[in-house]
Amino acid sequence: MLAVMTHGGYEGATIQAIGKAAGLSPGLVHYHFKTKQEVLVALITALTDGLELRYRARCGDSVEPRVRLDAFIDAHVALGRDADPRAVAAWNVVGAEALRQSEVRALYRQALARNLAEMRALVRACLLAQRKVTREAGHIAAALVSAIEGAYRMASVQPHKLPKGYAAPMLRRTAHSLIAAQQDKP
Protein backbone atom coordinates (compact mmCIF):
# COMPACT_ATOMS: atom_id res chain seq x y z
CA MET A 1 0.00 0.00 0.00
CA LEU A 2 2.84 2.38 0.84
CA ALA A 3 4.45 2.06 -2.57
CA VAL A 4 1.17 2.22 -4.46
CA MET A 5 -0.24 5.20 -2.53
CA THR A 6 2.99 7.14 -2.99
CA HIS A 7 2.40 7.23 -6.73
CA GLY A 8 -1.34 6.89 -7.21
CA GLY A 9 -2.94 8.05 -3.97
CA TYR A 10 -5.65 6.08 -2.25
CA GLU A 11 -7.87 6.00 -5.33
CA GLY A 12 -5.14 4.31 -7.35
CA ALA A 13 -4.46 1.74 -4.65
CA THR A 14 -6.40 -1.25 -5.89
CA ILE A 15 -5.98 -4.66 -4.31
CA GLN A 16 -4.43 -5.81 -7.59
CA ALA A 17 -1.89 -2.94 -7.56
CA ILE A 18 -1.09 -3.57 -3.90
CA GLY A 19 -0.55 -7.27 -4.57
CA LYS A 20 1.66 -6.54 -7.56
CA ALA A 21 3.81 -4.08 -5.58
CA ALA A 22 4.15 -6.65 -2.78
CA GLY A 23 4.88 -9.50 -5.17
CA LEU A 24 1.68 -11.25 -4.12
CA SER A 25 -1.42 -12.39 -5.92
CA PRO A 26 -4.55 -10.28 -5.36
CA GLY A 27 -6.16 -13.39 -3.87
CA LEU A 28 -3.48 -13.62 -1.20
CA VAL A 29 -3.93 -9.93 -0.35
CA HIS A 30 -7.70 -10.55 -0.09
CA TYR A 31 -7.02 -13.51 2.18
CA HIS A 32 -5.47 -11.15 4.75
CA PHE A 33 -7.50 -8.01 4.01
CA LYS A 34 -11.11 -8.03 2.87
CA THR A 35 -10.94 -4.46 1.51
CA LYS A 36 -8.36 -1.87 0.63
CA GLN A 37 -9.77 0.10 3.59
CA GLU A 38 -8.39 -2.64 5.87
CA VAL A 39 -5.03 -2.32 4.13
CA LEU A 40 -5.11 1.45 4.72
CA VAL A 41 -5.86 0.94 8.41
CA ALA A 42 -2.94 -1.49 8.68
CA LEU A 43 -0.71 1.04 6.88
CA ILE A 44 -1.67 3.79 9.35
CA THR A 45 -0.66 1.50 12.21
CA ALA A 46 2.61 0.65 10.46
CA LEU A 47 3.38 4.34 9.83
CA THR A 48 2.72 5.39 13.42
CA ASP A 49 4.60 2.41 14.85
CA GLY A 50 7.56 3.10 12.55
CA LEU A 51 7.68 6.72 13.61
CA GLU A 52 7.59 5.71 17.27
CA LEU A 53 10.52 3.33 16.72
CA ARG A 54 12.47 6.06 14.91
CA TYR A 55 11.85 8.43 17.83
CA ARG A 56 12.88 5.89 20.47
CA ALA A 57 16.04 5.01 18.52
CA ARG A 58 16.99 8.68 18.28
CA CYS A 59 16.35 9.22 22.02
CA GLY A 60 18.48 6.30 23.06
CA ASP A 61 18.85 6.24 26.83
CA SER A 62 18.81 10.00 27.23
CA VAL A 63 16.54 11.54 29.82
CA GLU A 64 17.69 15.07 28.95
CA PRO A 65 14.56 17.00 27.89
CA ARG A 66 16.23 18.93 25.07
CA VAL A 67 17.76 15.77 23.61
CA ARG A 68 14.37 14.08 23.67
CA LEU A 69 12.65 17.12 22.11
CA ASP A 70 15.25 17.22 19.34
CA ALA A 71 14.86 13.46 18.83
CA PHE A 72 11.10 13.84 18.49
CA ILE A 73 11.46 16.57 15.89
CA ASP A 74 14.18 14.65 14.04
CA ALA A 75 12.17 11.43 14.06
CA HIS A 76 9.41 13.27 12.24
CA VAL A 77 11.25 15.45 9.74
CA ALA A 78 15.02 14.82 9.67
CA LEU A 79 16.73 13.26 6.73
CA GLY A 80 19.05 10.30 7.16
CA ARG A 81 19.26 6.67 6.23
CA ASP A 82 16.15 5.91 8.29
CA ALA A 83 14.06 8.59 6.52
CA ASP A 84 11.34 7.32 4.22
CA PRO A 85 9.89 9.87 1.76
CA ARG A 86 7.23 7.29 0.84
CA ALA A 87 5.98 7.37 4.43
CA VAL A 88 5.67 11.16 4.25
CA ALA A 89 3.72 10.92 1.00
CA ALA A 90 1.52 8.18 2.42
CA TRP A 91 0.85 10.22 5.58
CA ASN A 92 -0.36 13.07 3.40
CA VAL A 93 -2.77 10.69 1.68
CA VAL A 94 -3.93 9.49 5.10
CA GLY A 95 -4.59 13.11 6.07
CA ALA A 96 -6.65 13.64 2.93
CA GLU A 97 -8.60 10.42 3.50
CA ALA A 98 -9.23 11.49 7.09
CA LEU A 99 -11.40 14.26 5.67
CA ARG A 100 -13.52 11.69 3.81
CA GLN A 101 -13.57 8.55 5.93
CA SER A 102 -14.61 8.42 9.57
CA GLU A 103 -12.49 5.37 10.44
CA VAL A 104 -9.36 6.98 8.97
CA ARG A 105 -10.25 10.29 10.65
CA ALA A 106 -10.41 8.55 14.04
CA LEU A 107 -6.98 6.94 13.55
CA TYR A 108 -5.48 10.19 12.24
CA ARG A 109 -6.87 12.11 15.23
CA GLN A 110 -5.44 9.51 17.61
CA ALA A 111 -2.01 9.83 16.01
CA LEU A 112 -2.12 13.62 16.18
CA ALA A 113 -3.34 13.50 19.78
CA ARG A 114 -0.41 11.23 20.72
CA ASN A 115 2.01 13.58 18.95
CA LEU A 116 0.53 16.61 20.68
CA ALA A 117 0.63 14.95 24.09
CA GLU A 118 4.23 13.84 23.63
CA MET A 119 5.30 17.24 22.31
CA ARG A 120 3.50 18.99 25.17
CA ALA A 121 5.29 16.79 27.70
CA LEU A 122 8.65 17.41 26.01
CA VAL A 123 8.16 21.17 25.83
CA ARG A 124 7.00 21.26 29.44
CA ALA A 125 10.06 19.25 30.54
CA CYS A 126 12.35 21.64 28.63
CA LEU A 127 10.65 24.65 30.21
CA LEU A 128 11.02 23.16 33.68
CA ALA A 129 14.67 22.30 33.05
CA GLN A 130 15.29 25.95 32.11
CA ARG A 131 13.26 27.17 35.10
CA LYS A 132 10.63 28.77 32.85
CA VAL A 133 6.90 29.09 33.39
CA THR A 134 4.98 26.30 31.65
CA ARG A 135 1.62 27.94 30.90
CA GLU A 136 2.36 28.18 27.14
CA ALA A 137 3.59 24.57 26.78
CA GLY A 138 0.39 23.50 25.00
CA HIS A 139 0.52 26.40 22.57
CA ILE A 140 4.18 25.78 21.74
CA ALA A 141 3.48 22.06 21.27
CA ALA A 142 0.54 22.79 18.96
CA ALA A 143 2.64 25.16 16.87
CA LEU A 144 5.46 22.62 16.52
CA VAL A 145 3.20 19.69 15.63
CA SER A 146 1.41 21.93 13.11
CA ALA A 147 4.78 22.85 11.61
CA ILE A 148 5.71 19.17 11.31
CA GLU A 149 2.45 18.40 9.53
CA GLY A 150 3.00 21.43 7.29
CA ALA A 151 6.52 20.26 6.46
CA TYR A 152 5.03 16.95 5.32
CA ARG A 153 2.64 18.73 2.97
CA MET A 154 5.35 20.96 1.58
CA ALA A 155 7.71 18.03 1.04
CA SER A 156 5.05 16.21 -0.96
CA VAL A 157 3.78 19.15 -2.99
CA GLN A 158 6.99 21.13 -3.61
CA PRO A 159 9.87 18.70 -2.98
CA HIS A 160 12.32 20.37 -5.35
CA LYS A 161 11.52 23.93 -4.29
CA LEU A 162 12.56 23.49 -0.66
CA PRO A 163 16.13 23.59 0.67
CA LYS A 164 17.28 20.02 1.29
CA GLY A 165 17.15 19.09 4.95
CA TYR A 166 15.71 22.42 6.13
CA ALA A 167 12.86 21.12 8.34
CA ALA A 168 14.62 19.48 11.28
CA PRO A 169 17.20 22.18 12.04
CA MET A 170 14.68 24.98 11.60
CA LEU A 171 12.04 23.28 13.75
CA ARG A 172 14.63 22.55 16.46
CA ARG A 173 15.71 26.19 16.38
CA THR A 174 12.09 27.33 16.51
CA ALA A 175 11.38 25.05 19.48
CA HIS A 176 14.45 26.22 21.37
CA SER A 177 13.63 29.88 20.68
CA LEU A 178 10.02 29.53 21.77
CA ILE A 179 11.11 27.83 24.98
CA ALA A 180 13.85 30.36 25.70
CA ALA A 181 11.40 33.23 25.15
CA GLN A 182 9.14 32.12 27.99
CA GLN A 183 9.27 33.94 31.31
CA ASP A 184 11.56 32.73 34.03
CA LYS A 185 9.87 31.24 37.06
CA PRO A 186 9.62 33.77 39.89
Q: Using pLDDT thresholds of 50, 70 and 90, give the confidence band for residue 157.
A: confident
CA distance 61 to 36: 39
CA distance 118 to 53: 14
pLDDT in tens, 55-96: 999 999 999 999 999 999 999 999 989 898 889 888 998 999
The structure's pTM equals 0.89
Choose the most confident range, by mean pLDDT, from 14-18, 24-28, 95-99, 117-121. Answer: 117-121
**Cα separations in angstroms, 10 against 22, 26, 103, 104, 113:** 16, 17, 14, 12, 23
pLDDT in tens, 6-21: 777 888 888 888 888 8
Residue 111 has pLDDT above 90, yes or no: yes
Give me the domains of the chain, ranges plus CATH numbers: 36-180 (1.10.357.10)
- The separation between the first and the last C-alpha atoms of the chain, rounded to the nearest angstrom, is 53
CA distance 38 to 10: 12
